[in-house]
Amino acid sequence: MNFPFVQEEASFSDEDCKTENRFGINAVRSDGKTFLLRKRENKNFDELRPIGYDLANSDLIREIEDESLARAIQNSEADVNTENSAKSEVSTTLWVDKYRPKKFLDLIGDERSHRYVMRFLRMWGTCVFGLPAAHPKEKKFVRSYKDDWPKTDDPMARPNRRMLLISGSPGLGKTTLAHVAAKQAGYEILEVNASDERNADTANKTVRHALLNNRIGRSGKPVCAIIDEIDGAAESGFIKALLDIIESDKRASDKSGAVGGGKKGQKGKADNTLLRRPIILICNNPYANTLKKLKPHCEHVQYKKTSAGYLLKRLQYICRQEKIKVDVQSLLSLIDSNEGDIRACLNSLQFNQERTSSIQKDIDTSATQIVDALFVKGIHNTEGTETENQALVRRIGACGESDKIIGGLFAQYPFAHYNDDRLNKTIQAGEWVFFYEILNKQIWSNMNFDLLPYTSHAILAWHELFGSITNNLRKPRQEMMKAVAQEKKNKDNIHPFFKDKANMDYNAYQVKQTVLSSNKLFKGALPLRITGLFVTENLRIELGSMVLSLLGCTQPLTAEAISRVARVLQDLDIKVEPYRLEMEDLNETLPCIAFQSTPNIHNFQLFQKCRLILPNLVAIQYQMSRSGNVKRGSSFNEEGVRKSKQRKVLHESSINIQPRTKNMISWIHKDDDEGGSEFGENAYVKANVTDKVWIEYHEGYSNAVRRLISWNQLWGSN
């Protein structure tokens, strides 16, 4: 072995010494031993076998069955094993990691979002794996989901918006979802999170290379980029780099046209590269300023809270696995106090496991628990000589989330038992809140931390005011929930902020964010000369109100009036545009048009009070006037309409617009005999076949205001 290389070289020259087989080359060394020089596997994408794409895939079904079988066995085992809990070895892994879902089917929570993410990745399959494009006609998917799904008219069937944005509050499992779904779909994951340096350079080096250059990961799978915490510390350069990727992809896509976009050989200029790998962005706050520019390129999923039921099951399963005994009540309160944050639940569960019986006690410094406790008098555990009030102050101080406590108290006090004379207690509570706010201001803006202890007393005052021995622990909260449920039953009075179990404050905040963002859009869309006339604050209360009142007008309108309103909208540069609804399963001969305004004025409505009927009528007019007919109030000639080529329906109905419009109005007012049926967030109004106009009640962009709408609410007269 002195000069192995020389010798080997010599042996290679001898043809007899090496034989080729399908694994590689057999080489013989000088000492006579044969060894194999492995051929590098040249993987073809077509040969890669992604799993889990098709939910109907028979493999997957088998997997599901196996899974449930295995679970059943595990469960029974676990039950047996609980007895010998002492023997279980002490593990150093965090449960959060240990029980992180590994497969798509393990995921718990917002199923809809799961499917959406999967669907998104599935659409990339054509481009990445060369799978046949998913056909929208597949009946397997629940229909109502389908409308929302990413739209595509890309030759490679990639979604039109190339990136996916998952947003939601912390600890719901967004990152897990992205990872699991990507893995399941056959990708290797490239994760970039806040801990990584994120400037333009990194973005170019890692993300860009990974995505644009057909890179294959170490495991031989294509890469999917998951960019976590994008709303956080991402430098603007990073966002810019992402945008560049999208831009260059757009150019490349436009260039490559319809055919062969996916083929390797097509290398354009460096900045015209097709995006061939999916990108998933994850954030907490979708309204963050940094995301403003990215959002138009993203499909957006708002990940919702996992329901307590699912969560409970999962926690119970883990408890069985870990062989600890926790009663359902404690688990529920654990979920409660962590507000559905799975991660937090698991953490507190794990680190309390030695003292399973006392979970209740250890977490009772959480804000929710303290709020519950404050409404009750006479049952508090005191240590040593301290009084009940002292104990409470101690707990409030230990909690540290006094804002949350005040919020909780405010939300729940109307449901507590207390005696009051002419609302004096409410007034006093108001005084205390004011005191609390002044303290806070002193503390945080003047850095006067000596005052911090007094905040607990401002909170304790509520205990004096509203606490009573007749209140049970958790009673006010349950009462509140009950009231919510009651409201829900009583559908006509359903209040937007009651509909969710979470507190009203948060909902109001969510709505406000939506409104604010449409307010911004509204302002941004207005012509400069008009925004100049209004101070930001006045824009909504003056101009917004005017537009709403115009659009919400309930009296029958003449054609001239409609055209006048349309003109106002045009002045304000509010675009009312039709879009086609995909409703294949309904009668095909019906073209369906819905109208949507940009910026979305619907978001401005208070209580969804006025029904904005008018946009639909106005939109027709608006469309027509834009496409040829300019004269206000004039009747439309057929020529102009044909030019508009908008929709068949226009073509037919507008030969004489005036009677037709009237007809439509009367129809809207009369025709509610189909009442009682409920639709999803989009209510489709089915008209007489001859009318051929469809109206979509568009609820707005945010999921925060999404709710069921009954026929009566939509059209009924109050």
**Torsion sign across C-alpha atoms 259, 262, 264, 266:** positive
Strand partners, 226: 191, 280
Tell me how far apart the alpha carbons of residues 320 and 660 are, in angstroms, rounded to a whole number. 68
Our finding on whether 76 is near other proteins (CB under 8 A) is no
Q: In 645-658, which positions are buried (b, 16+ CB within 10 angstroms) versus exposed (e)?
A: ebbebbeebbeebe
Task: Decide whether 69 or 483 has the Cβ nearer to other proteins.
Answer: 483
> What six digits make up the tokens of 30?
């000088």
Binders of other proteins among residues 683 to 702 (CB under 8 A) are none
Task: Decide whether 200 or 511 has the Cβ nearer to other proteins.
Answer: 511
Helix (H, G, I), strand (E, B) or coil at 282: strand
**Please, what is the minimum distance in Å from the beta carbon of residue 48 to other proteins?**
42
The candidate with the shortest Cα–Cα distance to 340, out of 375, 366, 370, is 366
Residues in the chain: 718
Tell me how far apart the alpha carbons of residues 164 and 178 are, in angstroms, rounded to a whole number. 10
Instruction: Pick the piece of the chain touching other proteins (CB under 8 A) from 126-134, 162-170, 598-606, 636-644.
Output: 598-606
Tell me how far apart the alpha carbons of residues 143 and 716 are, in angstroms, rounded to a whole number. 27
Our finding on whether 506 is near other proteins (CB under 8 A) is no
Candidates 434, 448, 491, 582; binder of other proteins (CB under 8 A) is 434
Instruction: Pick the piece of the chain touching other proteins (CB under 8 A) from 209-217, 340-348, 425-433, 692-700.
Output: 425-433
Angle at 593 (CA atoms; ends 591, 596), nearest 5 degrees: 170
Binding string to other proteins for residues 358 to 387, with x set by CB under 8 A, is what? ------------------------------
The four Cα atoms 116, 121, 127, 128 give a dihedral, to 10 degrees, of -170
Task: Decide whether 330 or 563 has the Cβ nearer to other proteins.
Answer: 563
**Please, what is the minimum distance in Å from the beta carbon of residue 341 to other proteins?**
24
Binders of other proteins among residues 405 to 424 (CB under 8 A) are 406, 410, 414, 420, 422-424
**Please, what is the minimum distance in Å from the beta carbon of residue 160 to other proteins?**
27
Candidates 96, 581, 610, 708; binder of other proteins (CB under 8 A) is 610
Candidates 19, 85, 538, 637; binder of other proteins (CB under 8 A) is 538
Instruction: Pick the piece of the chain touching other proteins (CB under 8 A) from 46-54, 115-123, 259-267, 533-541.
Output: 533-541
Binders of other proteins among residues 139 to 158 (CB under 8 A) are none
The candidate with the shortest Cα–Cα distance to 553, out of 596, 604, 614, 595, is 614
The candidate with the shortest Cα–Cα distance to 391, out of 375, 399, 380, is 380
The candidate with the shortest Cα–Cα distance to 552, out of 617, 616, 613, is 613
Candidates 24, 130, 232, 496; binder of other proteins (CB under 8 A) is 496
**Please, what is the minimum distance in Å from the beta carbon of residue 417 to other proteins?**
11
Which pairing describes strands 709-710 and 678-679: parallel, antiparallel, or unpaired? antiparallel
Any idea what DSSP says for residue 225?
E
Binding string to other proteins for residues 620 to 659, with x set by CB under 8 A, is what? ------------xx--------------------------
Check: CB of residue 107 under 8 Å from CB of residue 173. yes
Candidates 325, 361, 441, 491; binder of other proteins (CB under 8 A) is 441
Task: Decide whether 130 or 552 has the Cβ nearer to other proteins.
Answer: 552
**Please, what is the minimum distance in Å from the beta carbon of residue 529 to other proteins?**
6
Task: Decide whether 72 or 438 has the Cβ nearer to other proteins.
Answer: 438
Binders of other proteins among residues 472 to 491 (CB under 8 A) are none
**Please, what is the minimum distance in Å from the beta carbon of residue 394 to other proteins?**
25
Candidates 509, 630, 669, 678; binder of other proteins (CB under 8 A) is 509
Candidates 91, 160, 358, 558; binder of other proteins (CB under 8 A) is 558
Task: Decide whether 5 or 607 has the Cβ nearer to other proteins.
Answer: 607
**Please, what is the minimum distance in Å from the beta carbon of residue 543 to other proteins?**
7
Helix (H, G, I), strand (E, B) or coil at 226: strand
Our finding on whether 82 is near other proteins (CB under 8 A) is no
Binders of other proteins among residues 198 to 257 (CB under 8 A) are 233, 236
Binders of other proteins among residues 274 to 333 (CB under 8 A) are 289
Helix (H, G, I), strand (E, B) or coil at 1: coil
Task: Decide whether 307 or 634 has the Cβ nearer to other proteins.
Answer: 634
Q: What residue type is 481 in one-letter code?
A: M
Check: CB of residue 607 under 8 Å from CB of residue 492. no
Task: Decide whether 398 or 438 has the Cβ nearer to other proteins.
Answer: 438
Our finding on whether 572 is near other proteins (CB under 8 A) is yes
Name residues whose C-beta falls within 8 Å of residue 99's C-beta, 6 or more positions apart in sequence: 314, 318, 321, 346
**Please, what is the minimum distance in Å from the beta carbon of residue 553 to other proteins?**
5
Our finding on whether 468 is near other proteins (CB under 8 A) is no
DSSP string, 576-633: EEEEE---TTS-TT---EEEEEES-GGGG-STT-S---HHHHHHHHHHHHHTT--STT
> What six digits make up the tokens of 584?
């294949």
Our finding on whether 537 is near other proteins (CB under 8 A) is yes
DSSP string, 175-203: HHHHHHHHHHTT-EEEEE-TTS--SHHHI
Check: CB of residue 591 under 8 Å from CB of residue 687. no
Element (H, E) at 560: helix 559-571
Residues binding other proteins: what is the number (CB under 8 A)?
A: 73
Task: Decide whether 210 or 559 has the Cβ nearer to other proteins.
Answer: 559
Candidates 37, 72, 427, 586; binder of other proteins (CB under 8 A) is 427
